[in-house]
Structure 1
Amino acid sequence: MTDETTGPETAEEVWDTRYRESGRIWSGEPNAAFVEVVGELPAGRALDLGAGEGGDAVWLARRGWRVTAVDISTVALERAAGHAAEAGVAERIDFLHHDLAVSFPEGSWDLVSAQFLHSMVEMPREEILRRAACAVAPGGVLLVEGHMGFPSWQHDHPQDLHFPTPEEVVESLRLPEGAWEVLRSEEHVRVQKDPEGVPRERTDATVLVRRL
């Protein structure tokens, strides 16, 4: 979006605008695939990329994890911090503002999670996920969950946006041979309600890799 006085919106402005459209954009609950994978892991240090309103971060913190939650939108982060305070886990979550196309948090984590890290604006997703892999501590895991396409009820969307297969995600990570183990690389179908509240099926992809 452009005009003669302000010029093009930045990615941060686009996402801030998106979050201001409603008091809550997401359900506040982690998706089933995330719960299935992370529920089997011992609590440790977690990095939540694209944390949004903090649903995953709060869920992790309630289960004993120490979480670093990162998002490009300050609106989302303020909302997430409020949800963490309401849940009584604010002291277990550090909320950091990053445009992951530009900067990345320093440190290493037992779990690095990228849940539906798709963007309405151009974003170097493969490069970000490679940096995410580098942030995994020895013995830790990288969990990447992504859509395999737009929902059937959404017709107004970019036609050239590519949703990678699990195999493409693994390949794009460029993991050094012998240093990583691929635990999951699969598609799965889940049910999501459309804007009218009707349950619909859509296909997602899960990639889980462990650093040896």
Structure 2
Amino acid sequence: MPRAPQTPAEYWDTYKPHRDEGPALRPDAAVFEWTQYPGHGPGAEFLGTPLPRRALDLGPAEGAEAAHLARQGVEVTGVDLSAVQVERARTWWQDTPRLDFVHADAVNYLTTTSTTFDAVYSVWGAVWFTDPDQLLPLIARCLAPGGVLAFAHAEPTGETYGPQRMRGKWLEGRERELTVLRWQYGPEAWTDLLKRHGFTDVDATVLPAPADEPVGTLLARAHASS
């Protein structure tokens, strides 16, 4: 029986284990997807027009969104907790200029970096899996004045907000399943959180799922104070 993950990093190391390393099976970076449904919702323009000069991707996993932006001339840094995901992304996108993947915890990276970004974004990534009261002030510190924070995660279900236990289908059959937390909030709660941490021009909403699909996508965008 496979060894069960002992840490959140190992949890994400097992994400999409069917993927082989190498360019043949890498995801398509032709478009920027914020939702789990291809072609549904906004694209890279959600980060602003023109696109930011320098962007930080928190939790890029396979790195498709980061690669898409880099191909558009954006200097992108992707920070991921999983060494496996970072190595896979580096292998897949090694031919893409202006793109760097860093193996680090998002909070640790934001605490220590001296780089200023025009945009910080997270597509079903670290913003969803990190305490916002810890993460949002660090993001604000690393954003240029007026810079944009944008993120997406699954539409919250039920009436319970805050940290929720998450189970991974890719862990089925293991002798013990490690649970991780994701922070589930609706648009109003995210708006309050972002404003409380100094962000302005907050726009948070739920994009309904396409017909016959069960779960929509929460989309949020805000700006650092000028």
Alignment TM class, shorter chain as reference = 0.7 to 0.9
- Equivalent residue pairs, number: 189
Question: Are residues 1:84 and 2:60 paired?
Answer: no
CA distance in 1, matches of 2:82, 2:116: 23
CA distance in 2, matches of 1:123, 1:83: 27
3-state SS of 1:134 partner:
helix
Question: Are residues 1:16 and 2:13 paired?
Answer: yes
3-state SS of 2:216 partner:
strand
CA distance in 2, matches of 1:146, 1:133: 20
CA distance in 1, matches of 2:126, 2:78: 17
CA distance in 2, matches of 1:140, 1:162: 23
Q: Give the direction of change, closer, same or farther, for the CA distance of 1:67–1:129 in structure 2 (3 Å limit).
A: same
Higher relative contact order (CA closer than 8 Å, sequence separation 6+): 2
* 1:112 pairs with one of 120, 123, 131: 120
Higher mean displacement: 44-53 or 21-30: 21-30
Question: Are residues 1:127 and 2:124 paired?
Answer: no
* Cα root mean square deviation, aligned: 3.3
Q: Give per-residue Cα distances to partners, 1:6-36, cap 9 Å, x unaligned.
A: 9x70111111122434337976553143434
Residue 52 of structure 1 and its aligned partner are, at CA, apart by: 0.6
Q: Give the direction of change, closer, same or farther, for the CA distance of 1:117–1:108 in structure 2 (3 Å limit).
A: same
Question: Are residues 1:41 and 2:60 paired?
Answer: no
Q: Give the direction of change, closer, same or farther, for the CA distance of 1:185–1:61 in structure 2 (3 Å limit).
A: same
Per the alignment, residue 174 of structure 2 pairs with none
The one-letter code matched in structure 1 to 2:185 is P
**Kept in 2: contact 1:19–1:75 (CA 8 A):** no
Per the alignment, residue 71 of structure 1 pairs with 80
Per the alignment, residue 209 of structure 1 pairs with 222
The one-letter code matched in structure 1 to 2:140 is A
Unaligned runs of 5+ in 1: 151-155, 193-198
Higher mean displacement: 134-143 or 167-176: 167-176
The one-letter code matched in structure 2 to 1:42 is L
Q: Give per-residue Cα distances to partners, 1:85-121, cap 9 Å, x unaligned.
A: 2xx31x311211112254435121001002213699x
The TM-score, its normalising length taken from structure 1, stands at 0.73
CA distance in 2, matches of 1:134, 1:112: 11
Q: Give the direction of change, closer, same or farther, for the CA distance of 1:43–1:119 in structure 2 (3 Å limit).
A: closer
Aligned-residue identity in percent: 26
The TM-score, its normalising length taken from structure 2, stands at 0.69
Residue 201 of structure 1 and its aligned partner are, at CA, apart by: 4.5
* 2:192 pairs with one of 140, 160, 171: 171
* 2:104 pairs with one of 98, 120, 123: 98
CA distance in 1, matches of 2:191, 2:48: 22
The one-letter code matched in structure 1 to 2:220 is V
CA distance in 1, matches of 2:43, 2:6: 32
**Kept in 2: contact 1:71–1:97 (CA 8 A):** yes
**Kept in 2: contact 1:185–1:206 (CA 8 A):** yes
Unaligned runs of 5+ in 2: 34-40, 158-166, 169-178
* 1:142 pairs with one of 134, 139, 149: 149
